[in-house]
Amino acid sequence: MFVEPFRYERAESLSDACARLRDSGGTAKLVAGGQSLLPMMNLGLVELDVLIDVSRVTEARGVVEEEGYLRIGALTRHRDLETDPLVARHQPLLAAAARHVGNARVRNRGTVGGSLAHADPSAELPLAMTCLGAEYELIDGALARVVPAHEFHVSSFTTELADHEVLASVRVPTLGPGWGWGFQEVSRRPGDFAIVAAAALVRTAGGEMVESRVALGGASDRPIRLGAVEASVTGARAEDLEARIGPVEGLDPVTDTNATAEHRRRLARVLAVRVLADACRRADEAA
Amino acid sequence: MSADLTTTLVVNGRTVTRTAGAHLSLLRWLRDVADVLDPKYACGEGVCGACAVLVDGEPVSSCIVLAAQVDGARVTTAAGLTGPGGELSPLQRAFHEHHAAQCGFCTPGMLICATAMLADGMTRTRDEIRHELHGNLCRCTGYQQVVDAIEAAQGAAQGAAQGAAQGIPP
């Protein structure tokens, strides 16, 4: 399928991109890696008048360590998350999530900000950020506001971003010692979007879970943190999880060509148990 | 409404400057504007790998990158893997010897992605090769011969590297 011509503009910086978005009066879209937008254009799902390219902007790229968190520039690529030593040391869950994204070619081009702003309900990074309690920094020329992941992701392909705002960076809290992580997904083929994906973080003491975070992607119209499951596993050991965790409430899965809603509900529980067990085991190893 | 854009790419070592629609993907720019025909259009989603090229040494799906986005880059297509005298790369030779192509449509992308895979010099098991090739679809071969070829090529490259270390000419 041939893409219809559009006007192409190259932004000099992220604040320049904000200005261009404002000037376009809502008709423009941003492109960074383009690994979601360009497929949608090739398939005729998106047509646009103006495309503003931020892929060559050099700011907002890479990971830096700050007091209590990692700041990840929106233009950091999935490939960078896979290989970054700070991510490996402080938040390996993110590297694991990034490894599940698409194929190597997608990970070479696709960006963190692009994936989060695209907000596919089964995408890996929005799930990992929701599990981690990350905060997104949105700019409107200057720093405009900070929005937590669970508020940013509103529903399928819908976020808190206003027309002229740009997601500039993400703050991911670094966890202290004693935490372990788990990330698993079920998909038709490696590299496909997940049917359901799950992420967990667990802190243990003496083999028992003291604190936990667990979240699911693909089971609702946005990533969902499972507060009730977290409460139910306090004090549990890895081998208790199967008995402690009942059917997962509060999900709103869809039926599509990949799976029925019922199958997704079943996967939700199975994957929640598995990622919590993985996280428990890693936390014990770290202790 | 689309202003044309002048883009310069170094394609297989040759500097190519063309003025064309800014909306063109790298793949369309290569095929329709620069007459470089070995990358192929198939899925349009970055899933199948038929359009894979190296951009500054990294594999990308050229159907989902705009040429404008990579202005100034070095682009290598499968045709650019051959030496200056037309001699095949070890991987290309292995594909030939193991009959790792049937209709050939996926082959340029397979060669590009396998070249990128082997660039780190690591030796992979057949399962690891299969896993890393999950972004390249072939509808003819069942992948057996492709995996055979890549396995043989990494062995040949290792043998050559060991030979070089011991002063043995290839």
Q: What is the CATH number of the domain that holds B17?
A: 3.10.20.30
CATH number at residue A91: 3.30.465.10
Considering the domain architecture, whether residues B154 and B103 belong to the same structural domain is answered as yes
Q: SS3 of B123, please?
A: coil
Determine, yes or no, domain membership for A119.
yes
**Residue B131 contacts A, CB cutoff 8 Å:** yes
Contact A84, A115 (CB under 8 A): no
Nearest to A80 by CA among A99, A57, A59, A56: A99
Asked whether residue A55 carries a pLDDT value surpassing 80, the answer given is: yes
Cβ within 8 Å, pair B68-A53: yes
pLDDT tens column, A175-205: 888 899 999 999 998 888 899 999 999 999 9
Strand partners, A63: A72
* Residue ending a domain, choose from A173, A188, A210: A173
Nearest to B11 by CA among B47, B50, B46, B62: B62
**Residue A109 contacts B, CB cutoff 8 Å:** yes
Considering the domain architecture, whether residues A200 and A246 belong to the same structural domain is answered as yes
Contact B135, A105 (CB under 8 A): yes
At residue A173, the pLDDT reads 95
Domain boundaries, position A48: 7-52
Considering the domain architecture, whether residues B8 and B37 belong to the same structural domain is answered as yes
* Residue ending a domain, choose from B80, B105, B136: B80
Determine, yes or no, domain membership for A57.
no
- CA distances from residue A139 to A73, A77, A107, A164, B103 in whole angstroms, order as listed: 12, 19, 25, 9, 50
Q: SS3 of A200, please?
A: strand
**Residue A188 contacts B, CB cutoff 8 Å:** no
Contact A116, A167 (CB under 8 A): yes
H-type helices in B44-143, by residue range?
90-97, 107-118, 126-132
Q: What is the DSSP letter of B37?
A: -
User: What is the token pair recorded at A75?
Assistant: 């233009």
User: What is the token pair recorded at B8?
Assistant: 């310069």
Contact A175, A69 (CB under 8 A): no
Averaged pLDDT, A137-163: 94
CA B60 from chain centre, in angstroms, equals 9
Domain boundaries, position B130: 90-162
Chain B contacts of A106, Cβ < 8 Å?
46, 61, 135
Nearest to B135 by CA among A108, A93, A75: A108
Considering the domain architecture, whether residues B76 and B137 belong to the same structural domain is answered as no
For chain A, state the CA radius of gyration: 19
pLDDT tens column, A216-264: 999 999 999 999 999 999 999 999 999 999 999 999 999 999 999 999 9
At residue A26, the pLDDT reads 84
Considering the domain architecture, whether residues B156 and B118 belong to the same structural domain is answered as yes
Q: Model confidence at A133, in pLDDT bands (50, 70, 90)?
A: very high
Determine, yes or no, domain membership for B170.
no
Domains in chain A, number: 3
Q: How far apart are CA B42 and CA B68, in angstroms?
A: 21
Q: How far apart are CA A224 and CA A213, in angstroms?
A: 11
Amino acid at A15: S
Considering the domain architecture, whether residues A74 and A45 belong to the same structural domain is answered as no
Q: What is the pLDDT of chain A when averaged over all its residues? A: 95
User: What is the token pair recorded at B1?
Assistant: 């409404």
Determine, yes or no, domain membership for B169.
no
Determine, yes or no, domain membership for A2.
no
Determine, yes or no, domain membership for A164.
yes
B46's torsion region: left (phi>0), alpha (psi -120 to 50) or beta? left
CB-count burial class (<10 Å; 0-12, 13-18, 19+) for B32: middle
Nearest to A185 by CA among A114, A120, A113, A89: A120
Number of CB pairs < 8 Å for A and B?
Answer: 95
Q: Which helix (H) or strand (E) holds B164?
A: helix B144-165
Domains in chain B, number: 2
pLDDT tens column, B42-53: 999 999 999 999
Q: How far apart are CA A147 and CA A130, in angstroms?
A: 12
Which among A5, A106, A191 has CB closest to B23? Answer: A5
Matching residue, tokens 């072939």? B138
- Residues lower than pLDDT 70 in chain B: 1-2, 157-170
Determine, yes or no, domain membership for B43.
yes
pLDDT tens column, A4-36: 999 999 999 999 999 999 999 888 999 999 999
Determine, yes or no, domain membership for B168.
no
Considering the domain architecture, whether residues B133 and B75 belong to the same structural domain is answered as no
Q: Select from A41, A103, A115, A188 the residue whose CB has the most chain B CBs within 10 Å, as the one to mutate to test that interface.
A: A103
Contact A5, B2 (CB under 8 A): yes
CATH number at residue A42: 3.30.43
Determine, yes or no, domain membership for A1.
no
At residue B136, the pLDDT reads 97
Considering the domain architecture, whether residues B102 and B67 belong to the same structural domain is answered as no
